[in-house]
Chain A
């Protein structure tokens, strides 16, 4: 059975204070690892797809990395508008449904 565990469950940072979110996964035949951001009352917004160990992707203040067992979402010099729940998900073979972690609730204080 596929499993995704995210840590920490919640994280409170000061504006400009960089940190990392962790996503540990177990899946047979990983097709892709996905990061999403979800704001209250909204659906998840796609951020990144990572396909193989060693891959990195960047977008503004966010950088995602992937190893064979985990992924990290690094947030550099965050701003209050980066406050959201960040979700990690994995997909096994085929264009199948995703298995999600429970998310990290990130709060950036001004």
Chain B
């Protein structure tokens, strides 16, 4: 069974640009989650999508947004990039039931110059 896949692996942008990150969940999983893992800060919850709807978001500004497509894949958009947005962005998927484990991809490394 294929795991969670993310693309691209690495992304280099400059301040003020926009970035789009993509995620394909495990087959049969309806929930997709996005996390930011910045150096020294640990994993921070960004967004949760289920059945095409945004269900919850963490403590991040509105320039972090995304969507979930009918095939349950998802994309994360980050507008007006800032230097502190440099981080590993991880996508996870689950069956969408409380208490079900989330399974992670290997992330997109976003570097802002």
Contacts and interface: CB of A to CB of B under 8 A. Distances in A.
Report the interface size class on chain A.
20 to 34
Q: Is the interface of B mostly helix, strand, loop or mixed?
A: strand
Interface in B86-102: 90, 92, 94, 96-102
Output the residue of A45, A87, A100 with the most chain B CB within 10 A.
Answer: A100
Q: Is the interface of A mostly helix, strand, loop or mixed?
A: loop
A60 interface: no
B72 interface: no
Contacts of A93: 98
Nearest to B47: A97
B104 A43 contact: yes
A89 B72 CA distance: 24
Contacts of A102: 41-42
Nearest to A30: B99
Contacts of B48: 95-97
B108 to A, nearest CB: 10
B63 interface: no
Given A97-B48, A99-B45, A32 B98 contact: yes
A71 interface: no
Given A42-B106, A43-B90, A43-B105, A95 B96 contact: yes
